[in-house]
Structure 1
Amino acid sequence: MKILKKVLLGIGVLLLILVFVVVGIILIDRSQTSYLNVDNNPAFAANTYLIKHANVVPMTADTVLRDQTVLIKEGMIAGIADEITDANATVIDAKGRYLSPGLIDMHVHVWDKYELGLYLANGVTTVRNLWGQPMHLRMKEAINRGEVVGPIFFTSGPKLTGPEYVGDDNLQLFSPGEASAKVAEYKERGYDFIKTYNGLTPELYDAILAKGKELEFDIVAHPSDKVPYSYHFRPEIITIEHAEDIVQQPLEYQLDTAKLDEVVDLYASHPNTALCPTLVVYYNIYRLLTEENVLNSEALNYMNPLIREVDSRAQYDRWAGTKANDSTIVDRIRDQHKFHLYVIKKLHERQVPLVAGTDAGIGVTPAGYSLHQELDFYTQAGMSNYEALQTATINPSRTHDFLGSQGSIEVGKVANLILTEGNPLEDLEVLRNPKIVLVRGRQLKRKTLGAFTQKARNRSNLLASALRYAEYLMIEK
């Protein structure tokens, strides 16, 4: 009995130590990201401004409204005119700089608060997170309550897949009843939409769509190979993800322009379904194959350390192994990337709605920076700067209802704005270094944005990230 008591006491002490360690890691992580807390930065609290002498890029048309005054009241755009006065508003003199809508990245994977600052530093004022976990609900709530400055945050629940698709990054479903129940559960818990994933059978998919329609709960589709590609053009599905899946599914890995024409016709005949291409994440496979030091590149210093150690390394090893056994892989990946540009060109010619997304946060695709490269690929595909910028501003606002108040500079819209030295309609590169970013009317100056970037560089929150992922596995699995 005495031995048993000692064993139980020892176990209790170890558990107590473990609790203290876990709490300590969490508290340290919170302290390290406190630079985003509004309470610690009184300047973040203000959200009423009068921006004078701004050249406004409204994104409602391919135009610039010269020397305008924009009134922001409590985070909303309240007026746009040649002259406005408001004694209660703090004046920002734009000095002839260009004011455009904040950017929207429609496909991201967020791993920590540091990435919130990285998005803002790159002019990204709204993100759509497509692999929801409990931490994302807390993150969204903190942003919405005004406790933390960050991009406006929307998140799916965990990715839903079928019984054959095993992996810790998705939730397997085994029956239509279970699928329907999960949709209802995720809406109740506060997720903003459902993300469907590869491996969903028609029966499971039908149940998800039916419950989504009943609850008015949007669906975002990573195409499933268990149903025809055409199945995904349902009114409940707001966007279809990944241009690469056009090649991999209906084109059966063939760069077939005739088959592509059929897919383009399909999109053109369903104008309420948008494609989120995520070209940059596929292009980064080419980088993994051709850049020996890609894992030591400067951009990787801004990746979450857990992802960098696990996913980035795993992807590098995977493609290095493929390259060692397949001498054609580099050319095939390069050629498919070029074909993706052709896909975008053909879809754009048919006025298919496109929304910019990056898949940032996985592999070697860092938060914030990657959206600018995504937009550059769209111009390579033949879009004008205005048309490319539409994919990250006005186009997303026409998808989900919850994005309707963003994406343009109009009275009644949320004051998510970027002030740049140059005109983005002439040079999209100016968006990489905004002079000022406003998110819900909160002003972030260049010095602050630079500090956000530096704080995220080579951060040491691997253990905290692992704890959050363990929480996801325990709750969702």
Structure 2
Amino acid sequence: MKLLKKILKIVFALIGVLIIAILIIIGVDAQRTKYLNIDHIENGDISSYLITHVNVVPMTQDTVLTDKMVYIKDGTIQTITENININGVEVIDAKNKYLMPGLIDMHVHVWDRYELGLYLSNGVTAVRNLWGMPMHLRIKEDVNNDEIISPMFFTTGPKLTGPEFIGDDNLNLKTPEEAKNKVISYKERGYDFVKTYYGLTPELFEAVLDQAKKSWVDIVAHPSQKVPYSYHFDPQIKSIEHTEEFVQQPLGYDLDTVKLKDVVDLYAQAEYSAHCPTLVVFNNIYQMLIDDNILESESMQYMSPLIKRVDSRAQFDRWHNTKLEDPSVTERIKNQHDFHLYIIKKLHEANVRIICGTDSGIGVTSPGFSIHQELKFYKEAGLSNFEVLKTATVNAAKTHSIMNNMGTIEAGKVANLILTDNNPLSSDLSALEHPSTVFVNGRKLDRKTLDSFEEKAKDRKNLLASGIRYAENLIIEK
């Protein structure tokens, strides 16, 4: 008995040491991201401004409103006018720069708070995180309570899959009752949306759809191969992800334009369904195939060290080994990417609402930066600058009712804005890459501050902290 007590005492002591070590690691990481705290941002408590001599790109139509004044009060756009006198607020002379709505990335995977600054630095003022974990609820709470400077933050719960094991990052559902309970739980805990994923059977899918409708929660769908692609066209499903899934599911890996027409018609007939392409993440397979040194590239210095250690390396090795076994894979991937551009062209011609998403944060797709390549792909597919910008502004904001207060420059909309030196409607889309100023909830971030966000996130050393947060997800959500 005495020996047992000694063993238990040692075990409890070791557990105590482990808990203390975990708290220290998480605490140190929290200290390193304090630069995002509102009280650490210069004038971070100010959200009222009068912007003068500014050319407004309202995104309500394909036009520029020249030499306007924009009054922002408490983070909300009050008026866009020729002339107005407002006392007691800072006046910003835009010097004929161009003001447009901030960009919205509708498909991201956030791994830590450093990435929030990377999105802002690239003009992304709202994100839809599609790999929900407990840490994302904490981020969302801090954003909503105005404790940190961040893009507006929306998140799904954990990915819902069927009973077969796809990966430890998914929630495997086995019964319809369990599916319904998970939807209820995610809504109650504060997740904004439900994400359905690969492997959901018709029975389970129907249970999720039914409960989502009852719980008034939107669904974001990664198509499941266990049901027909047409099954995903339901009013509760607000967007269907990944253009590559056209090829992998309804087209059966056949780049067939005749079969494609049937899928495009499904979208065109379902006005409530948006499509989120994530072209850049698939194209990055091609980039890995043609660049043996991609893991050492500068953009990879902004990736989560946990993702670099696990996912980035695994993806690179997978495709490198595939190329060794079958050299023709490079051409096949490039041909499929080109077909993706054709799909976007056909969706656009059919007036399907396209919403910008990158799948950033996994593989070699860097947070924030990747949105600019995604937008350029839409331009390459045949969209005009205005039509490209709609995907990341007004189109995205229409997807969910909780996002309707952004996406355009109009009275009553939240002041999520970016100021660029050149006209994004007529110039190269690269004008968006380094906005001179970003406003998020009316708070002004100048280029110096935005550059500091990039510097803080570059080559960060938080592998253990990220691993602990991921372990927390496995313990709590599984």
With structure 1 as the length reference, what TM-score do the two structures score? 0.99
Mean Cα deviation higher: 59-68 or 78-87: 78-87
The residue number in structure 2 matching 1:55 is 55
The residue number in structure 2 matching 1:43 is 43
The residue number in structure 1 matching 2:182 is 182
Conserved 8 A contact 1:179-1:204? yes
Superposed CA offset, 1:366-390 (max 9, x none): 1000000000000000011111000
The residue number in structure 1 matching 2:468 is 467
What's the offset of the Cα at 1:446? 0.4
Superposed CA offset, 1:293-334 (max 9, x none): 000000000000000110000101111121121222111100
The residue number in structure 1 matching 2:364 is 364
Amino acid at match of 2:292: E
The residue number in structure 2 matching 1:431 is 432
Report the count of equivalent residues.
477
| SS at 1:43 equivalent | coil
Conserved 8 A contact 1:165-1:198? no
Task: Give the Cα separation in 1 of the matches to 2:325 and 2:254.
Answer: 21
What's the offset of the Cα at 1:89? 1.6
| SS at 2:471 equivalent | helix
Superposed CA offset, 1:60-103 (max 9, x none): 00000000100000000011101122112211110100000000
| SS at 2:239 equivalent | strand
The residue number in structure 1 matching 2:400 is 400
Task: Give the Cα separation in 1 of the matches to 2:441 and 2:424.
Answer: 21
Task: Give the Cα separation in 2 of the matches to 1:138 and 1:129.
Answer: 13
Instruction: State yes or no: 1:152 paired with 2:152.
Output: yes
Superposed CA offset, 1:40-70 (max 9, x none): 2351111000011110000000000000100
Task: Give the Cα separation in 2 of the matches to 1:434 and 1:129.
Answer: 23
Task: Give the Cα separation in 1 of the matches to 2:45 and 2:468.
Answer: 31
Runs of 4+ in 1 over 4 A off after TM superposition: none
The residue number in structure 2 matching 1:92 is 92
Task: Give the Cα separation in 2 of the matches to 1:10 and 1:181.
Answer: 40
Amino acid at match of 2:341: L
The residue number in structure 2 matching 1:15 is 15
The residue number in structure 1 matching 2:339 is 339
Instruction: State yes or no: 1:377 paired with 2:377.
Output: yes
Amino acid at match of 1:80: I
Superposed CA offset, 1:225-245 (max 9, x none): 011001101111000000000
Unaligned runs of 5+ in 1: none
What's the offset of the Cα at 1:351? 0.8
| SS at 1:187 equivalent | helix
Instruction: State yes or no: 1:230 paired with 2:230.
Output: yes
What's the offset of the Cα at 1:16? 2.0
The residue number in structure 2 matching 1:313 is 313
Task: Give the Cα separation in 2 of the matches to 1:396 and 1:38.
Answer: 27
| SS at 2:10 equivalent | helix
With structure 2 as the length reference, what TM-score do the two structures score? 0.99
| SS at 1:44 equivalent | coil
| SS at 1:191 equivalent | coil
Task: Give the Cα separation in 2 of the matches to 1:101 and 1:128.
Answer: 16
The residue number in structure 2 matching 1:28 is 28
Conserved 8 A contact 1:102-1:125? yes
The residue number in structure 1 matching 2:121 is 121
Task: Give the Cα separation in 2 of the matches to 1:181 and 1:11.
Answer: 36
| SS at 1:66 equivalent | strand
| SS at 2:354 equivalent | coil
What's the offset of the Cα at 1:149? 0.2
What pairs with 1:168-207 in structure 2 (closer than 5 Å)? Answer: 168-207=168-207
What's the offset of the Cα at 1:11? 2.0
Task: Give the Cα separation in 2 of the matches to 1:19 and 1:319.
Answer: 39
Unaligned runs of 5+ in 2: none
Task: Give the Cα separation in 2 of the matches to 1:92 and 1:254.
Answer: 54
The residue number in structure 2 matching 1:476 is 477
Task: Give the Cα separation in 2 of the matches to 1:104 and 1:285.
Answer: 24
Amino acid at match of 2:60: T
The residue number in structure 2 matching 1:274 is 274
| SS at 2:43 equivalent | helix
